[in-house]
A and B are shown apart, each in its own frame.
Chain A
């Protein structure tokens, strides 16, 4: 079945970077774009960026521009989201989700990233 499997939880120190992976299965990876979004404790979901898996083009939220990089490895059907210069406010659950006309029709289970000194 169609699924997105994300990497495990991470604990990082302020100033560090984190890279979260999202492995797709059950469909042709390059036929669908992928989104990344996050949800901090008690906050609403926040869209971070979008990857066109076919050619690697990306679009980022201005809020994260300069700190986020979304890439893919088509041979592994895997997308990656790297967030740098981490601060405590980046503590959140990070999700990847398959694009359907800029909605999100299949989601990963989420990766918890904790930023703490």
Chain B
């Protein structure tokens, strides 16, 4: 199965700063990668699909890039509500797999 490795495990930033999160796949997933946000006690929310497409209602400050094995989620200017856990998911191969997550915390 395809293993997704996210880095860093924790990212400490302040509101207004730019956040860059990474997801690396153990083999090529083409552009078949999504990003999700999860806040404590809440269900995950789909942010980005097919590497770079924003899901419905997702603000433009969230953007995704990459293909093959290396992917990036960028939040251009952090808002207070953006501090959460982010994880990636691939749909290139069965079984679907997820990254272990990056915790974005307030500095």
Contacts and interface: CB of A to CB of B under 8 A. Distances in A.
Q: Do A and B come from one complex?
A: yes
Interface of A: 35, 37, 43-47, 59, 61-63, 95, 97, 100-105, 107-110
Contacts of B49: 100-101, 103
Contact of B99 (A44, A61, A101): A44
B60 interface: no
B43 A103 contact: no
B89 interface: yes
B55 A105 contact: yes
25 contacts: A37-B98, A44-B87, A44-B100, A44-B101, A45-B44, A45-B89, A46-B98, A47-B98, A61-B95, A95-B43, A100-B49, A101-B49, A101-B91, A102-B91, A102-B96, A103-B34, A103-B46, A103-B49, A104-B34, A105-B55, A105-B56, A107-B43, A107-B44, A107-B45, A110-B43
Could you tell me the dominant secondary structure of chain B's interface residues?
loop
A62 B101 contact: no
B97 interface: yes
Interface in B1-58: 32, 34, 36, 42-46, 49-50, 55-56
Contact of A59 (B87, B94, B99, B100): B94
A100 B87 contact: no
Nearest to A96: B43
A45 B45 CA distance: 14
B85 to A, nearest CB: 11
B39 to A, nearest CB: 12
B95 A62 contact: yes
Interface in B61-107: 87, 89, 91, 94-101
A54 to B, nearest CB: 19
Nearest to B44: A107
Contact of B44 (A62, A100, A104): A104
A43 B43 CA distance: 16
B76 to A, nearest CB: 23
A103 B56 CA distance: 13
10 closest Cβ contacts across the A-B interface?
A107-B43, A102-B91, A45-B98, A47-B96, A44-B100, A61-B95, A103-B34, A105-B46, A103-B49, A109-B43
